[in-house]
Chain A
Amino acid sequence: MTSKHLVRLMALVVVVVVVGVGPNQGVALARRAPGPGGSVVVAMPQDLIPAVVEAHVFAPLLVPRTGDEPVVRGAPEHASSVLVSLMAEDADRRWRLKTRAPAADVAFAIARCLEGRGERRHPAAALRAAGVVVTATVASPDEVLVRFNQPVGALPELLAWCPLRPALGAPTGPYTAQGPGRLAWRSGSFEAPPLLAGIELRGPLTGQERADVVVAPGGADLAAGGATLLSPWPDVIVMVQQPETATADPFGLREPDTGVAAFRQALRADLLAAAWAAGRGGPTEALLPPGVAPARPLPPSTSVASVPLALTPIPRNAPRLPMWVEVGDSLSDAVAERLAVLLRGKGILLETRRNQSADEGGELVRWHPPSRDAALSLLSFVGEREALVTDGGVQRALEDPRLLGREATGRLAAALALERALLDSRLVVPLIVVERAITVDPDLRGVVLRGDGIPMLDGAWWGGGR
């Protein structure tokens, strides 16, 4: 046997061994097993970078169960590398959490996630909207006690993807931060070690810059090549009006004969989605998108005759409607321009605002429901916009105890009632449903777009001989 034959034989042995311990079943069938090493460059909006860093540096307390992961006692729909069990007491007002991690770290992480503490956390916003107060304390070295002022049966859903972030910020996940936007693999994670050695996170691409993963709010650039990953559920472009704006009704939504139907017809959401979202979207009358809520009865829309817009000159001192619009999303910009045209036909000027607060007028939001749970998603939406709670119907819907109950169907029923109350209030006007997608280099395998829209690379590897 020559040395060349020996090398081939050794390579075969290595391949056979690695295939046997492949990270998932699909890979095990592959001719080429994934090899560790390499790094990737990820381009994304600046405001998304902290969330992606956190998702890779800190292990999640719970994740929705997708396969054969071991069941967490007390939360059969979830898996965890940190928590052993969640046991409810006192009619879901008190929860005992057994943990593999130090209880002090878990208690700190839970408090941070459920209280918010100055950060935008959707579980904290959801609890705030429902008027729930929470405390998390250490009961023993391996047990955490979580207390609520009212029953909260949906604690496992609230803790999904909450990061185990200790007080001192020591990493608990597969990567560690090595400077701004740079992540390097580490040992000692609560999860399986990653394959990629490094991840570089940077802002949106400019000029000739290239990246291996591109996250753009306006959608992926397919012409640039690469795989397109779709989020498990789409975004919704929503117009949120302040109460005084809804009362003034500049868009004529409350007009008895035409109202919302005429507004939607004039908006032409289908054309906007075709032109600015590569056809990956269309008009919607619902706030909760497919994938988060099933089919349900919606208020019937009446057909109205098409009326040409009256685009007559308007004076400079015409009334103005301030509208906050998200930065960097071309579809939101296009919708704002169309709204400006519609308002101009009524003698009103639309004043687009970018970085100021949305305390007056309204805002145009590209909303990604943060959870597949309709109740938690809607609660967080309301919790981040206090003005919505001023509506009587919304207040009544928020008082439904099923919203944070243990039963998924009960939560969904209460969420649909809340959705209807929001739509009836005319404070919230859903306009377009649009897919959320990212572009990934074709050689980069195993990239996952988490349900809340965060791209995860802890299970990714370079294929194709790189």
Chain B
Amino acid sequence: MALGLLMAAMMLSTAPTTSQASAAAAAASSASATPVASTTVGSVQGFADEMVAAMQDRALVEGIAGAVKVVFDDIRGLDATKVRAALLPRVRRAVKSSDGPLSGGDAGPLTATVALSEEQGHIWAVVLVNGPGLLGPSTIVLKRHIDRELAVALGAVSRQSSGRFVLERVASLPSPISGHACPVLDVTLIDLDRDPAHADEVAVLSMCGVSLYRSDDGGIALVGGPYPLPARRWPRVELGWLVALGTPETGPLLWAATSAGHSVFVEATSGRVVEAPGERVPLRGVVGKDGPHALHWRYGAPGLSLPLVTPGGIDVVVSGLPNRIRDLARLPGDAWVFISDDGTLALRNQSGATDVLAPERVGDRLLAVDVDGDGESELVTTSSSSPGEADQLVVRRLSPNQDSSTVLLKSPLGGGSVVALAAGSLDYDSRLDVVIVEELSNGETMLWRLEHAP
């Protein structure tokens, strides 16, 4: 962050002013016979100059003249504070110093209303000029590829992809015990054969134990388990957490925890079940070099308690997080996304401040994964529907300064309730898949796959 600010400050301070640029251009034109060194104009300044030049050109076509007040109206996909600090003064200065029928002036009488947005790796500026002499608003559009300077100075994120997704119903998930209902508690993807070219297997934690499935040839088949958990009394709220571990020594390993008090390691190939550190719930969204961090658990309660515990058993204090949360994920740069006990989706940023990311409550589970491959994590949640009510899958994109989010996809599934989310590679392509397990009202369990469609 500090480095980014420093870079931005350096770029902004070294960018030449418009008068310098125009002076250089005038010098170049007056001495066209002699070679001159090219003048480098920063991207932000260049964008401001382009915008003003286009406004002056348009003013000539429309036959208007006078002072123009520049207003930034709508800013989407960019950091509004940075845009107003870095671009707006440059545009206003460029209007004052440029040659043409338009001149600078906060009193008008002309007004240029600018909307800026980020679309697929470009910044778009739509300028509407209004005022005397015009029958209707005059429109100017500019676009510019987002380079490093624009990304830093305006908080733009270069995204080559659009937010389009394919939501596919993969198959009905067969019960691991034929004729016996085994409600699903959690799901994760695990690479059993250790071959990255092959798809991952689906590990399912249900009330019958841990089972392994493989998606192949248009269906899904049970390939391992169920490996039953030790007998325990289940509370009214039946919950489970399943995380894939595994080291070269141990082979594919799963850590399963439930609201009944289970905390066990399950060897995925042999099915051997051994006790894990008790009263801890592993977090898929907070994984260090040594494995997943964990939170504390209380019998029968859906909420989890801080502090965080490292795989080595050391407590980690993260200031700014509430004491009880439903789920937690860590983003690059020491930002933490969490679902509070009352279902609020929020982010604790690097400085320890907390911002609410969504106006509505969300479901209990959270995934922070880069679904569309743009280098930034999207947030996948469900709606805050009760068990038995129709649920929705929601994919959100964080704003550049991580203080809000926009919904990229909000879609119902088959009218049932989403019970588990996981990310991995379910098919054989290189794109990340999100796996969703839905329980329908007729007791059927459905496996869905969400993939970005570039």
Contacts and interface: CB of A to CB of B under 8 A. Distances in A.
A424 B74 contact: no
Nearest to B135: A396
A141 interface: no
Interface in B399-448: 410-415, 427-431
Question: Among the interface residues A228, A397, A408, which one has the most CB atoms of the partner chain B within 10 A?
Answer: A228
Contacts of A294: 115, 117, 119, 124, 126, 141
A223 B414 contact: yes
B169 A296 contact: no
B217 A465 contact: yes
A269 B164 CA distance: 23
B126 A297 contact: yes
Interface in A226-250: 226-230, 232
Given A32-B217, A229-B166, A443-B218, A416 B74 contact: no
B141 A279 contact: no
Interface size on B, as a range, is 35 or more
B429 to A, nearest CB: 4
Nearest to B195: A31
B169 A227 contact: yes
B142 A393 contact: no
Given A226-B168, A227-B167, A442-B170, A279 B198 contact: no
Interface in B102-151: 113-117, 119, 124, 126, 128, 135-143
Given A229-B453, A295-B124, A416-B141, A442 B164 contact: no
A410 B140 CA distance: 7
Interface in A409-433: 409-410, 412-414, 416-417, 420-421, 424
A409 B166 contact: no
Contacts of B392: 279
Contacts of B138: 417
Contacts of B165: 230
A464 B414 contact: no
B165 to A, nearest CB: 7
B139 A417 contact: yes
Nearest to A445: B427
A296 B412 contact: no
Nearest to B74: A295
A279 B410 contact: yes
Question: Among the interface residues A27, A226, A297, A421, which one has the most CB atoms of the partner chain B within 10 A?
Answer: A297
Contacts of A424: 136
A225 interface: yes
Interface residues of A, number: 43
B136 A230 contact: no
Contacts of A279: 392, 410-412
Contacts of A420: 128, 136-137, 139
B290 interface: no
Interface string B66-107: 000000011110000000000000000000000000000000
Contact of B136 (A226, A295, A396, A408): A396
Nearest to A401: B61
A29 B198 CA distance: 9
Contact of B162 (A229, A291, A409): A291
B63 interface: no
A222 to B, nearest CB: 6
A30 interface: yes
Contacts of B73: 297
Contacts of B136: 393, 396-397, 417, 420-421, 424
Contact of A222 (B128, B198, B414): B414
A278 interface: yes
B197 interface: yes
A466 interface: yes
Nearest to A396: B135
Interface of A: 26-27, 29-32, 222-223, 225-230, 232, 278-280, 291, 294-297, 393, 396-397, 408-410, 412-414, 416-417, 420-421, 424, 442-443, 463-466
Given A29-B197, A295-B75, A397-B136, 16 more contacts: A30-B427, A30-B428, A228-B166, A228-B411, A230-B164, A230-B453, A278-B412, A280-B410, A295-B115, A295-B124, A412-B126, A413-B139, A420-B137, A421-B136, A465-B218, A466-B218
16 contacts: A29-B429, A222-B169, A226-B168, A227-B166, A227-B168, A228-B168, A291-B162, A294-B117, A296-B74, A296-B115, A296-B126, A296-B139, A417-B138, A420-B139, A421-B136, A442-B168
